[in-house]
Amino acid sequence: MTLRITIPDTPTQVHEQAILDVLVQHNQKMAGPSGYRPVAVLLTDESGATVGGLYGKITYDWLFVELLAVPSDQRSQGHGTDLMDKAEHIARASGCIGVWLDTYEFQALGFYRKRGFEVFGTINDHPIGQRRFFLRKQLIQDA
């Protein structure tokens, strides 16, 4: 088989899925099934419309929180805490070892630290003049 590199002008979900399929096949061969499971904890308004929430995934016994958003006018009212509490409950009930996530310097670093998360990595100048932090919270010690 001869391979070549191509760069699509507009990458699609089909491209993403093709790459993901190759990666998942390799990961399963090396580490077994990941136990992939999407997780969503939603904030909804009176009409039932989703106005924020938490979205992530469980893979290889960790919950990765990919997105956490609370509407600007609803911040500092406990919604973020409630979302994280529910997500950690789901993680524990699923037998997860821990929770990990990333946040920008201008987002919620202090919030996560108050919840027991520790920084395990930092990227400087992402965006320029700011930092991006990677955090984890161990739920099960010495797993």
Q: Residue 74: phi, psi to the nearest 5?
A: -115, 5
Q: Are 80 and 111 in contact (CB under 8 A)?
A: yes
Residue that the structure tokens 């990941």 belong to:
34
| 140 — pLDDT class (breaks 50, 70, 90) | confident
Residue/partner pairs of 65-69 with CB below 8 Å, 24 or more apart: 65/99, 65/100, 65/101, 66/101, 68/101, 68/108
Would residue 40 count as lying in a domain? yes
| pLDDT-based confidence at residue 143 (cuts at 50, 70, 90) | low
Asked whether residue 20 is domain-assigned, the answer is no
In a domain, 24, yes or no: no
pLDDT digits (tens, 9 = 90+) for 85-119: 999 999 999 999 999 999 999 999 999 999 999 99
**Residue 139 pLDDT > 60:** yes
Average pLDDT over residues 7-15: 97
- Cβ atoms within 10 Å, residue 136: 19
Within a domain: 5: no
Cα-based torsion angle of the residue sequence 15, 20, 25, 26 in order, rounded to the nearest 10 degrees: 110
12 in a domain, yes or no?
no
Number of domains the chain contains: 1
- Matching residue, tokens 């070549």: 4
Asked whether residue 108 is assigned to any structural domain, the reply reads yes
pLDDT classification of 47: cutoffs 50, 70, 90 = very high
Q: Give yes or no for a contact between 97 and 140, defined as CB atoms under 8 angstroms apart.
A: yes
Q: Is residue 28 part of a domain?
A: no
Look over the chain and give the mean of its residue pLDDT values, rounded to a whole number: 96
Tell me what the mean pLDDT of segment 14-24 comes to: 96
User: What domain range is 41 assigned to?
Assistant: 34-138
CATH of the domain at 41: 3.40.630.30
Please tell me the predicted confidence (pLDDT) of residue 141.
73
pLDDT at 142: 61
Whether residue 15 is contained in a domain is answered as: no
